[in-house]
Every structure is written in C-alpha cells, then in structure tokens.
Amino acid sequence: MLSVENLVKQYGELVAVDDVSFEAAEGAVFGLLGPNGAGKSTAINCISGLLQPTSGRVTVAGYNVQKEPRQAKRSLGVVPQELALYEDLPAVDNLRYWGRAYGLRGSELETRVTEVLGTIGLGDRAKDLPKTFSGGMKRRLNFGCGIVHRPPVMLLDEPTVGVDPQSRERLFELVEAERAKGTCIVYTTHYMQEAERLCDSVAIIDHGKMIARGSVAELRAQLGARDVLQLNGRFPAGPSKEAVGALAAQNGLDIEIISQEESSLTLTLSSASQHLPAVFQAISNAGGKVSETSLRSPNLETLFLLLTGKELRE
C-alpha cells in the first residue's frame, strides 16, 4: 500500500533522511520511531509531497509520488504534527472545505462530514469555532480533516503531542478504528508506549538513518530478556569498567555497559534485580558511589537505548 525505497533528503551537507526504506501494509499501523530531530517528519514530508526528496522512490497505493502526484495525494490522508485548522471557521465548515479540496461533492460530502463529526466525537459542536475548543478537541478535528476523503493511506505525524491522557486515548481509538477499516497507517512518535500499543511493525530512526526494523515482538527479541539498569552517582571511568568486567567474569553474567559518564552508568543484564547487591559492591570496591538506581524491563525504549546509547527523548 505504501512503499518507500532508498529515500534520501539532503540539505547541503546535512543528510536529514539517509537511505530509508520500508513498506506499510493495508489494515496495519507502521510506526516510525525516533527522538526529536531524527528525521521522521522530514520523511513524512517527502512521502506527502510537501518536500521533494533528493533521491529515492515513494509509492502510495500504486502511484509514484514524484511522477503521479495528484493520484498519490488523493490516496493520502495527512494528520500533521502541528494543528492545521481554520480556527475562525466552524468545525463542520473545516471538514467541508478539506473534503472539497479532495474532490468530495454534494450529498457524498455532506454524508461523509456528518460521519466524520460522529467519529471524532464533535457532532454536538459542529457549528462552533475551533478557537473555542480544548486542545484535545482541536486534535480530533485535525484528525477528522485528514480522514474526511476516506484515504487508503494515512500519515500521522506525532498526533498526540501536547494532548491530555483522555484525548490521547480517544485518538488511539480513532487510529485503531481506521486500521480496522483497512487503512494503511504510518504513525510517527517518540513515545515508545504509543508504538507498543498501536503499531504492528516499527522502524527506529536516528540521525536520519534507520537503525532497526521489524514487528514489536521481533525488536523485543533483539533485546533478549535483559533489563536496563541505570545508576546515578560517582563512577571513576577506569576502575568502574574493570569492576563490571570482573563481576561478569566471576559470576558468569551477561552484563554490558551501554553508556558511562562520571555521574551515570547504564548497564544491561539479565534478572538485574537479583544481581543488584553484587553490582553495588563492585562499584563500591572500584571507588564509586551509587546514589540513585532505576531498573527497566525490556521494551522499545530500552532497545533504543541499547542501539543508540541515549534516551529516546534526549
């Protein structure tokens, strides 16, 4: 349904999207994950036709975005990261206007607008101006404007940024409803929980490059059963590393240092909670001191940390 092949977008020396390829299927949600500035939105803008890619090929519902832009755009519904609404035009007129922009006319348009208002839960506020809406309601209307023309492929660019938990849940339901109708959805986010909840498959992108791809289960398997242990305190560089190495050798532990700084140390190891006293002792013997500990079970967030050595929201 959506195919991206070797997509590159370059601004002078800066490569914002570097050879990204993926495919998204009908009735599935494909997650594009990465921290802010990773290149997700640039990739989305290239797919939607807002940006001209430097190289690569994008096909939407069988139409080449560069060569057949009209047909490709007609098959795409975009929900941009920033709100894209006429705040001084009633909600129903916003939907009508964008429906007409995609070629809907007459009774078909009216029927669809009424349907979308019901779907996004704004039926009773149809004639109100969006400037009087809450942030969550505006987000839902923003979503509605993207689906009013029944697109077979949808691009959702961080649709939950700045949304309260209740509205976020409502948006998740909307996405799931669209998936159930057979829509192919590309969903960008830097919230791994969202990806784990919604996405059938994901690609992790950092510095414009795709660093991992697969289903959520496949990516979790890459991490194995290892927990992530984050320690804060004081960690002398050489002795701490040696102490962790010695601990692994003595106890036969599969332990790995992901990142080390003077005030923090991040490790991955299996059954971390059972080995905490030994880890603390080793650090203490190396002249270090642990003041704060956090332990995380394996998830996409820890996978990102493992792959890049940094937090997703840094």
Partner 1 sequence: MEFFWASIRKDLARWRQDFTAVLLWLSIPLIIGGLITSLVDGNGGAKPRGVLLIADLDDTFLSGFVAGAYSQGELGELISVEKTTVEAGTESINAGEASGFLIIPEGFTDALLDSKPVTLTLKTNPAQTILPGIIRNVTDVLLDAGFYINQIFGDEIDQMIDTEPGGQSNDVKVASIAVAIQKKIDAAAPLLFPPAIEITIADPPEDGPSVSIALLFLPGIILMAVMFSSNGLAGDYWAERENGTLRRLVYAPGQLSGFLAGKALAAGAIIALIGAITLVIGFVYHDLAWAKLPPSLAWITASGVALFAWFGALQMLASTQRAANLMTAMLLFPLLMAGGSFFPLAALPDWIAAIGRRTPNGFMVDRLTEELTAAGAWTIDPQSWLIILLMAVSGLGICAWRLQTGFARS
**From residue 106 to residue 135, what is the string marking binding to partner 1 with x (rule CB under 8 A)?**
-----------------------x------
Token digits of residue 155: 């691009």
Of 84 and 276, nearer to partner 1 (C-beta) is 84
**From residue 51 to residue 90, what is the string marking binding to partner 1 with x (rule CB under 8 A)?**
x-----------------xxx-xx-x-x-x-xxxxxxxx-
Q: In angstroms, what is the minimal distance from the CB of 313 to partner 1?
A: 23
Question: Among 45, 58, 54, 65, which Cα is nearest to 10's?
Answer: 54
Residue with tokens 């939950």: 160
Of 157 and 301, nearer to partner 1 (C-beta) is 157
Token digits of residue 195: 């990806």
> Within positions 173 to 202, which residues make up the interface with partner 1, using CB under 8 A?
none
> Within positions 133 to 172, which residues make up the interface with partner 1, using CB under 8 A?
145
Among 101, 177, 249, 295, binds partner 1 (CB under 8 A): 101
Q: In angstroms, what is the minimal distance from the CB of 90 to partner 1?
A: 8
Q: Among 93-101, 185-193, 211-219, 236-244, which window interacts with partner 1 (CB under 8 A)? A: 93-101
Q: In angstroms, what is the minimal distance from the CB of 109 to partner 1?
A: 9
Residues 190, 300: Cα–Cα separation, whole Å: 11
| Sequence letter at residue 20 | V
**Residues with Cβ within 8 Å of residue 252, at least 6 apart in sequence:** none
Among 7, 29, 48, 140, binds partner 1 (CB under 8 A): 48
Query: Helix, strand or coil for residue 215?
Result: strand
Among 5, 8, 28, 97, binds partner 1 (CB under 8 A): 97
Residues 259, 253: Cα–Cα separation, whole Å: 18
Residues 123, 98: Cα–Cα separation, whole Å: 17
- The footprint of partner 1 on this chain (CB under 8 A) covers a number of residues equal to 32
Residue 182's H or E segment, with its range, is none
Among 11, 23, 55, 100, binds partner 1 (CB under 8 A): 100
Query: Helix, strand or coil for residue 199?
Result: coil
Query: Helix, strand or coil for residue 268?
Result: strand
> Within positions 17 to 46, which residues make up the interface with partner 1, using CB under 8 A?
45
Inter-residue contact 81 to 189 (CB < 8 Å): no
Of 145 and 231, nearer to partner 1 (C-beta) is 145
Q: In angstroms, what is the minimal distance from the CB of 6 to partner 1?
A: 23
For β-strands 55-60 and 201-206, DSSP reports them as: unpaired
Of 156 and 192, nearer to partner 1 (C-beta) is 156
Of 71 and 232, nearer to partner 1 (C-beta) is 71
**Residues with Cβ within 8 Å of residue 124, at least 6 apart in sequence:** none
Helix axes 216-223, 300-308, angle to 10 degrees: 60
Residues 53, 15: Cα–Cα separation, whole Å: 11
Q: In angstroms, what is the minimal distance from the CB of 45 to partner 1?
A: 7
The residues that touch partner 1, with contacts defined as CB under 8 A, are: 45, 48-51, 69-71, 73-74, 76, 78, 80, 82-89, 93, 96-98, 100-103, 105, 129, 145
